[in-house]
Amino acid sequence: MLRLAKPKSQPSQKQLNSFLSSGPAVPTRIAVIAVVGCSVACISLMVQFLNYGAIRRLATQEVPSLVQLSSGETITATAVEPAERSAETIKKFVSDTFVGMFNWDGLIQKNNPQGKLIVEVDPGVEIKGLNNQPTLKVTTRAYEAAFALSEKQGFRAAFVRKLAQMIPSEVFSGNMRVAIIPNYISSPRKIKQGKWEVDFQSTLVTFKKLDNAGDAIAFNKTVTLLAVTTPQKPPADISELAKKIYAIRASGLEITQIVDLDLGKVR
């Protein structure tokens, strides 16, 4: 006698859901909260990375800051590496140095005992010649400005002696004046860390007492500069000349070489 097998009952929907799932069912509300929390954490991590990158960029940038001088004047200052100087600082240093060394009017400005600025005849500074050469004079302002030149290998002293040979004696008698007119100062070319070259193009104009039209000659030089350390707050009990020297070198630069500019050389 044959028996028919009892047909198996169809699985319920609940059993199917349980079979297809890998674990206990999670309520929809909890899943949404978990997804939102994970998203917030990812966004927060991205914001932290962005903030870190911004801080790194700011740390490497030259951020200008306001500095108040002892006179009460407020200026903008930027922090730089010890051997770095801005292009503006280098160009101004070169211009101020040449204007000081090559403007010869036979006059000097000074303060009288009452503190009032007065103008007097410049007696000049005597420079002893070498190898039995006669003693000559340079203007006081040129002598002071020449302290922007390096003392290495006697460069400043040798330059001052040549300067004394250039300055006509008529300057000190008031019969002649010489003025330098800067025409162009190139952007500094960096040779190595803390060393630059600058092209300085100018005109020297000579005025005589009986001829105020003036005679002009080209005066073009290539200047080599070096970054140096200089006291920013010199002692109060020093001579007036020392104060002027510190002021001249306050930019942290000195000139190590001055040669004729080769206008045909490609820069």
Q: Which tens digits make up the pLDDT trace of 90-148? A: 999 999 999 999 999 999 888 888 878 889 999 999 998 887 788 999 999 999 999 99
Q: Is residue 162 part of a domain?
A: yes
More confidently predicted of 28 and 7: 28
Q: How far is CA 19 from CA 11, 12, 23, 27, in A?
A: 10, 11, 9, 17
Residue showing tokens 């040549």: 162
Q: Which tens digits make up the pLDDT trace of 23-58? A: 555 566 666 677 667 777 778 777 776 776 666 665
What does the pLDDT read at residue 20? 45
What does the pLDDT read at residue 235? 77
Phi, psi of 45 (to 5 degrees): -65, -40
Pairing status of strand 136-138 against strand 107-111? unpaired
Q: Is residue 180 part of a domain?
A: yes
DSSP class of 165: H
More confidently predicted of 16 and 63: 63
Q: Is residue 231 part of a domain?
A: yes
Residue showing tokens 């407020």: 74
Phi, psi of 65 (to 5 degrees): -135, 155
Q: Is residue 248 part of a domain?
A: yes
Q: Is residue 7 part of a domain?
A: no
CATH of the domain at 123: 3.10.450
**Domain count of the fold of the chain:** 1
Q: Is residue 11 part of a domain?
A: no
What confidence category does residue 21 fall into, taking pLDDT thresholds of 50, 70 and 90? very low
- Segments forming the whole domain that contains residue 126: 85-260
Q: Is residue 55 part of a domain?
A: no
Nearest of 157, 154, 107 to residue 127 by alpha carbon: 157
Q: Is residue 211 part of a domain?
A: yes
- Res. 196: pLDDT tops 60: yes
Tokens of 161: 């002696």
